[in-house]
Structure 1
Amino acid sequence: MTRKNIKRTLEIDEIIKLYLEGTSTTEIAKLSNVSPRYIRMILSDYNIEKRPFGNWKRQYKLNEDYFKTWSKNMAYILGFFIADGFIANDIQTVGFAQKEKYILEQIRDELGSNQPLYQNKQTGVYMLYLNSKVMKNDLMEIYGITPNKSLEVKFPYVPDMYLSHFIRGYFDGDGNINSRGYVVSFVGGSLDFMVALENHLKTRGFEVNLAKKENHIRLYMSGRKTIKEFYDWIYHDKGLYLKRKFEAFPDQNLDTETLQNAKLKKTKQAVAERKKAFIDEYRKSYCIHQACETAGIALGTYYTWLKRDKSFSEEFYKILTKGQLSNQ
């Protein structure tokens, strides 16, 4: 019977696959949050023939110098990595994690690798592990990405011609599109990165709002015309992209000259849709600021609705009361 360890972060089959592919027990132990001795015990339990100590060789291809040369796909992958990638602390490994398998397969192919993906059976998330000292050093030394990137990462230098691809990559990892409320949002833990992203977007004429929470920062844009212009910019001459988010954008075939942000905000149907978006989000998160962001409204608009719209007020307080009772 396999020994149990509640700290282990990789499944047994993932550990065995990594070992059979040439990864050392020390590296697997770091990835699994256990000791090398524990990894060797698992291998013995499953009768896996062990290699001589210190014997390792790369079994899978990889263009280790990929991040040394700019291209639209490299910019996309770099942005995607800052959102959904990780750098191991004590071993020469970088990786990506995503629920949608195909985008990791496309990234893997672009990196010139035939490394198989692994799936966490508990979360359903797919992972791409790449063992490369060169690639790890490039990401850290050229682009300033550290193992604690979620809180510390700074916006790297990106040539202007590749900026839309970089932001599309970051959007596919840590962005969201609410087509009903005409809101695009980004989330991150590094204030430096999010302020720089805000400045880049403002430089290109987008009206951006930045909201700081206790443990994260949200950046969002709203308005029918604004969202269409953002769509046109990040998907122009696109290479890699996440289909789900691309297809979620409204008004894809309309000319931006026919759209107006202000007109949408004043129509009764649009206001009703925003109120519904607010209520739906508040029912999920019990967070007024998050609901305002999802609906694409200012906090003052929420207070106005609460004061002047009886049905909105009743629905809001019904959810609030339910939440309070469930916490008792």
Structure 2
Amino acid sequence: MPRNPGIADEIIVNMYKSGMSYSEMIPIIGLSDRGIRNVLYKHGVKMNREKSSGQPRKHSVNENFFKVWSHEMAWVLGLFWTDGHVHKQTNTISFSQKDEKILRLIAKLMEADYVLAPFGKTKITPTLNIYSKSMKMDLNALGIMPNKSLTVPFPDVPKEFLPSFIRGVIDGDGWVQRTGYVMNITTGSSQFASGLLNVFQTWDLRSEITTTNTKTGKVIYRVWVKGKFDLPKLADIIYKDANDYFIPYKRNFMTLHKKM
């Protein structure tokens, strides 16, 4: 059986590690179960005997995590909005973060097994994989689709949980100046950038959007909050219900000029 176009070895390994059975993988990949096993063997993947029966190897996860709003859910959603990925061909969602501590915290909050995608020549950032059809559908309902980077909207977040969502967004794609005067969030979506700007203006923060063009012609939007008084004000808002769910150095830079 010929392999379907666009199915690299890495995708096959990710499918297997996400918990998919051979019967689920075969129509997507185009290989027989023997061909799939050969790919896994080539990459040194430890195989599960129960896979041969067609039963998926399950990974635990709280399937209701994105169904009920909480400060923890909103923070994780903010991270996913910026650093997450919904796989088009499988029921897998993934989070990428340079700091594995954040991935472990996400897995803990979601009650998920800690399953990392394999590293490769182009994949060097730790990536947490979670297999859940229900969770993928919940994220779709919130506005997350495969290949979301240029079209993702700003979600309808309840006002109570909006600060925690923004904290997740800043932890995902935010940059905070070491001297504590400016912060920006980078996105390829004009809709999302406009939504962020509206939130910051509603919070009475000095904010603006700037744009740059990549070499391939894509527009990159940066949403800024500026000022030695505005960053501590932003910090007061987004860290109010943070508990231990944030990246410490970003909060430290943001609060450098906070009056004691």
TM more than 0.5: yes
Q: Secondary structure at the match of 1:83?
A: helix
Amino acid at match of 1:130: I
Once the two structures are superposed, what CA deviation does each residue of 1:173-211 show, in whole Å capped at 9, x if it has no partner? 111001326110011011011101101110110111101
CA distance in 2, matches of 1:35, 1:243: 45
Q: Does 1:169 align with 2:168?
A: yes
Q: 2 CA distance for matches of 1:78 and 1:8?
A: 28
3-state SS of 1:114 partner: coil
Partner of 1:193: 192
**Is 1:235 equivalent to 2:242 in the alignment?**
no
Instruction: Identify the residue that residue 138 of structure 2 maps to in structure 1.
Output: 138
Corresponding residue for 1:125? 125
- Please give the secondary structure, in 2, of the residue aligned with 1:150: coil
Contact 1:25 1:40 in 2 (8 A): no
Tell me the residue number matched to 1:24: 21
What is the Cα deviation at residue 23 of structure 1? 2.8
Cα contact 2:59–2:131 (8 A) shared by 1: no
Match of 1:242, as an amino acid?
I
Which residue type is aligned with residue 95 of structure 2?
F
Number of residue pairs matched by the alignment: 244
Post-superposition Cα deviations, 1:11-38, rounded to whole Å, max 9, x if no partner, equal: 9xx93x863674335877999xx76456
Q: 1:27 to 1:95 in 2, by over 3 A?
A: farther
Counterpart-to-counterpart distance in 2, 1:217 and 1:30: 39
Q: Deviations over 1:282-321 (max 9, x none)?
A: xxxxxxxxxxxxxxxxxxxxxxxxxxxxxxxxxxxxxxxx
Higher relative contact order (CA closer than 8 Å, sequence separation 6+): 2
TM-score normalised by the chain length of structure 1: 0.66
Bigger helix fraction: 1
Q: Which AA in structure 2 matches 1:76?
A: W
The alpha-carbon distance between structure 1 residues 206 and 20, as it changes in their structure 2 partners (threshold 3 A), is closer
Report the aligned-residue RMSD: 3.0
Structure 1 residue runs of 5 or longer lacking an equivalent are 1-5, 256-328
Aligned to 1:294: none
1:10 aligns with 2:10: yes
CA distance in 2, matches of 1:250, 1:27: 50
What's 1:55 paired with? Answer: 54
- Report the equivalent of 1:316: none
Where in structure 2 are there 5+ consecutive unaligned residues?
Answer: 1-5
- Cα distance change on mapping 1:223 and 1:101 into 2, 3 Å: same
For 1:160-309, list aligned pairs within 5 A: 160-180=159-179, 182-214=181-213, 215=218, 216-239=220-243, 240-251=245-256, 254-255=259-260
1:136 is paired with a residue whose SS is: helix
SS at match of 2:140: helix
Deviation at 1:112, TM superposition (A): 1.1
Mapped contact 1:61–1:112 kept (Cα < 8 A): yes
Counterpart AA for 2:225: M
* SS of residue matched to 1:41: helix
| CA–CA distance in structure 2, aligned partners of residues 172 and 238 of structure 1 | 12
Task: Classify the secondary structure of the residue corresponding to 1:205.
Answer: coil
| Pair member with larger Rg | 1
